[in-house]
Structure formats: C-alpha cells, structure tokens
Amino acid sequence: MLRIGFNLWYRDSPKVREVVAKAVAIGMNHGEISIDYPFGMVEVEPFEEMAKIVRENGMTVSVHAPWQELNIASPIEEIRRASVEVLKRVLKEAYRVEALHVVVHVTSEQACCRRKPYVDRCIDAATRSLEELVRFAEDLGLTIMVENVSNAPCCGRIDQISEIISRVNGVYLCLDVAHAITSDKQRCDSLENVDYADVVSEWSSAVGVERIAELHVHGVKRIGRKIEVHLDLDGVKMDIKRILKTLGRNLRFVVFEVFRSSAGSRESFDIEKLVSYVREFRSWATAYSV
C-alpha cells in the first residue's frame, strides 16, 4: 500500500501536534523526520517525542539522516569511515522510534567524478559504505534508501546514482524529483516545460523501476537568478497518473518536502494546501499499485 506523508524537522517541534493533525485530516499516513544536529543526535528526547506524536496519530515513521559534513562516498578513507559510523548511530535512533527506513545522501566533496583517472573512486567508496550500512540496517529491521542530490561535486548525477544502486543489494532509491531536475542543466533552462512524470520515467529506466521505493515531491522554480527548491507546487507540471503507472506497486512512499511558499517563508506554507495532490496520488495508487 502506498503511504503518503510529509517531512518534519526540529523547527516543527513547537507546532508538531497541529501539523500532524492537519496532515491526518487531508489523508496523509506517514511522517519522515529529519535528524539535524543537534536534534536527534545529542538532543534525542525532542526527536523521540516528535516520532511518538506521529505514531500516536496512526502514522508510520521514517527518518531522514543528517547530511552536512557526512560524505560516505569520500575517497579519503578516514572521512568515509567516520561518516559511516555517524550514520550507524542514526540507524540506532531510527530503530528506537520504530522507523521503517532511513533516507541517506551519498556524496563526496572531492569532485572525483570529474577527474580522470579518479572517476570511479567516489563510486567505489559509496559502494563500500552502503554495503556496510545495509548489513547494519538489516540487523535492526530497517531499509536504506539513497536520495539523489543536486549540489554535491560527486555522486549526484543519474549515471552515478544508477551505478551505485546497481552495485548494492538491498538498497533502494528515494527519487527527489526536484533535485533530479536541478542536476540537469537542460531542464533548468526551461523549468516551465518540465513534467515531473518525464523525470520519473527517465530515472526509472536508468535505475530500474523495481529499485525506486520513495518519491520526494516539492516545487522547483526560478526566482530572480536563482533556482529554488522545496517550494509549494503552484504551477508545477505533474502527471500523477503517469507517475503511478510508471512506478506501480514498487513505489511505497510519497513524501512532500514543501518547506515554504514561493513568496514567503516556511511558516507561510499550510500543509492543507496539499490536499488535492494527496487525493490524486491515493486515487491513482489504487489503480496502479495492485
């Protein structure tokens, strides 16, 4: 069954009960909680309390692992090793809050992907890290999902992610559609013409439809000279029917990562505005996720 949810992080703590209640009211049944130092790492109780509130409202939980300063694709062994150890701590916390899976970024700051003859070193490092993390996660009853990112020097492109996913058994892709768009210069040049369904189709062909288990959905727009993500979905082209037809029952989670409106701050976005998207995803999932 497709589970539809939204992202929570430490800034949601003061209003978490209100936000979760609104999410349930519009048909959501999943919450993905971002660990972001110190939240969830040294300040564990607020993180556990947030997860408890989500579960008490009948929702399942997943965890988005921290990503700043963590580079499990680093060819520098000491950095890679330390990053893996931090993520093991995160996996333990995810287990304690009864999470179903953990979303991780697979990155390096070394830009090996652009330099011959070092082009494969970050991919090799990522493979070793993920193999170890998958074994550790499986012992806890957890699944690892790799999220594609658009701002890392290494391991963000479609060819790199597909290679990494193909090498590691038991790991799945969390396809962030907006990140996929911003990592593609041609699409960035004509954002108004991009349909999210086209992006999903391209990545499904590259990675394998059976390996895409989660979607992150949020808006991407050009505001002035900058391309902004994690915005509302106003004006976004998203053929949800075609997305569900492409991914079928392989897709298990859709998580909305809308943090702010195009014209304002995170606090100005009301989760209730997502109700039509939730209904449409659920409707087409009934047809194509059986």
Chain centroid to CA 172 = 11
Report angle CA 36, 37, 39 to the nearest 5 degrees.
Answer: 70
As a whole number of angstroms, the distance between CA 258 and CA 238 comes to 15
How confident is the model over 135-151, as pLDDT tens digits? 999 999 999 999 999 87
The pLDDT value given to residue 155: 85
When pLDDT is cut at 50, 70 and 90, the band that residue 113 belongs to is: confident
The pLDDT value given to residue 186: 84
**Ordered domains of the chain (ranges, CATH):** 3-288 (3.20.20.150)
The pLDDT value given to residue 264: 66
How confident is the model over 26-81, as pLDDT tens digits? 999 999 999 999 999 999 999 999 999 999 999 999 999 999 999 999 999 999 99
Closest to 80 measured CA to CA, from 154, 149, 137: 154
Q: Is 104 exposed, middle or buried (0-12, 13-18, 19+ CB in 10 A)?
A: buried
**3-class secondary structure, 199:** helix
Strand intervals (E) in 207-272:
212-217, 219-223, 226-231, 253-256
Q: Which residues contact 53 (CB under 8 A, 6 or more apart)?
A: 16, 17, 20
The pLDDT value given to residue 265: 63
In this prediction the pTM is: 0.96
Distances (CA, A) of 114 to 109, 110, 119, 156, 164: 11, 9, 6, 12, 16
The pLDDT value given to residue 263: 76
Q: Which residues contact 192 (CB under 8 A, 6 or more apart)?
A: 235
As a whole number of angstroms, the distance between CA 87 and CA 72 comes to 9
The pLDDT value given to residue 269: 86
